[in-house]
With several copies, the nearest count.
Chain A
Amino acid sequence: MTHLSGDIRSDTLAKPIVTAAEAVEGIADGSVVLVGGWGGVGVPHALLTALAATSVSELVVVTNNCGMGHRGDVGLLFEAGRVRKAITSFPIHPAGVEFRGALARDEVEVELVPQGTLVERMRAAGAGLGGFFTPTSAGTPLGEGKEERTIDGRLQVFETALHGDVALVHGHRADTYGNLRYRYAAGAFNSTMAMAANRVIVEVDEIASDPLDPEQVDTAGIFVDSLTVVGAP
Chain B
Amino acid sequence: MSAIGWELPQWAERVAASLGDARYVNLGVGLPAKLPHYLASRSIMFHCENGIVGTGPAPDAGDEIPELIDASSNFVSLQPGGVVVPFEVSFSIIRGGHLDATVLGAYQVSAGGDLANWSIPGARIAGVGGAMDLAVGARRVIVMMHHTNRDGSPKIVDELTYPMTARGCVDVIVTNCAVIDVSPAGLIVRDVPEGMTIEELQGMTGAPLRLSVAGTRGR
Contacts and interface: CB of A to CB of B under 8 A. Distances in A.
Please say whether chains A and B are actual partners in one complex: yes
A138 B132 CA distance: 9
A142 B66 CA distance: 32
A28 interface: no
A110 B95 contact: no
Interface stretch (A16-24, A52-60, A171-179): A171-179
Contact of A185 (B67, B128, B130): B67
Interface in A116-138: 116-117, 119-120, 123, 125-129, 134-138
B160 to A, nearest CB: 10
A127 B80 contact: no
A222 B126 contact: no
Contacts of A186: 67
B84 A214 contact: yes
Nearest to A212: B83
A136 to B, nearest CB: 5
A13 B45 contact: yes
A185 B88 contact: no
B36 interface: no
Interface of B: 23-24, 40-43, 45, 47-54, 65-69, 71, 73, 78-99, 119, 124-133, 136-137, 163-167
Interface of A: 5-6, 8-13, 38-42, 68, 89-92, 103, 110, 112-117, 119-120, 123, 125-129, 134-142, 154-155, 175-177, 179, 182-192, 195, 211-212, 214-215, 217-218, 220-223
A-B pairs with the 10 shortest C-beta distances?
A: A177-B81, A128-B95, A12-B43, A116-B133, A116-B91, A184-B67, A127-B92, A90-B127, A128-B96, A185-B50
13 contacts: A10-B43, A112-B125, A113-B128, A116-B132, A116-B133, A128-B137, A135-B95, A138-B136, A139-B164, A176-B81, A184-B65, A195-B98, A221-B81
